[in-house]
Amino acid sequence: MKKLLSFVLLLLLFAGCGYKPASYYSKKAIGDRVFVKVSMLRSDPENTVIIKDAVNEAVITKFKSRVVNEDDANSKLFVRVDSVGFAPVQYDKNGYVVLYRATVTLSTTVATQKETKTFLTSGSYDFPIEPNTTISDSKRFDAIKNSAAKAIDTLTSQISILGALYEAGTDSSKGN
C-alpha cells in the first residue's frame, strides 16, 4: 500500500510540475517530418556517411520525428561537417601517445516553418591506443561516430530550447 501511495505521489509531482521531455520541445520546433542533408567532406567522405547516419538516428530517436524527402518535410536540417580532428591527450613515460581525442564540429542550419537558424556544435571523444601504434580505422570510425553523437546531443538541446521558445510565444530571433 505504501509503495502504491508513493508511486501515485511521485506521478502527481511530475504531472503537477509540468515536466515535459526535450523531445516534446524538439518536436514543437521541427515537427514530425524532417528532411536531412549532410554536406560531404571532400577530404574524408567515409566520415560524412557516419555522421549522416548519426543525424538520421537522432531525428528518429531524440526528436521522435521521421526522416522524409524534401517535399514532404515540416523542417529541414542542413548539416555541414566543419572539421574532424584528432589530437593527442596523454603520453606514457616513454613519450608515446596512449590517449587521443577526436573532435567533430558541425554547422547545422535548421529551417522550420517559423524561421531559419544556424547552430555551431562540437563533440569530442577520448579513446586509448596502444603505445607506439597508429589509430586503426575501426577506432577512428568509432571515435568519429561518438564525437558526432555528442555534437548532435548539443544540437538536440539547442533545438529543444527553440521549441520551448515557440511554445512560450517568445520570438527567438530577439535573443529571449
What local confidence, expressed as pLDDT, does residue 78 receive?
96
- Closest C-alpha to 160, from 58, 28, 5, 31: 28
Give the Cα separation of 105 and 120 in Å (integer): 7
Asked if residue 15 is part of any domain, the answer here is no
Q: How many domains does the chain have?
A: 1
Residue 72 cell numbers, joined: 514532404
Asked if residue 79 is part of any domain, the answer here is yes
pLDDT 10s digits, 32-82? 999 999 987 777 777 788 888 888 888 888 888 899 999 999 999 999 998
Asked if residue 7 is part of any domain, the answer here is no
Asked if residue 103 is part of any domain, the answer here is yes
Residue type, 22: A
Range of the domain at 80: 22-169
What local confidence, expressed as pLDDT, does residue 23 receive?
77
Please report, for the domain that includes residue 83, its CATH number: 3.30.160.150
Kindly state the percentage of the chain with pLDDT values over 90: 45
Asked if residue 9 is part of any domain, the answer here is no
Helix axes 137-168, 22-30, angle to 10 degrees: 80
Asked if residue 117 is part of any domain, the answer here is yes
What local confidence, expressed as pLDDT, does residue 46 receive?
77
What local confidence, expressed as pLDDT, does residue 121 receive?
96
Asked if residue 176 is part of any domain, the answer here is no
Give the Cα separation of 51 and 107 in Å (integer): 12
Residue ranges for the chain with pLDDT beneath 50: 175-176
What local confidence, expressed as pLDDT, does residue 169 receive?
78
Asked if residue 135 is part of any domain, the answer here is yes
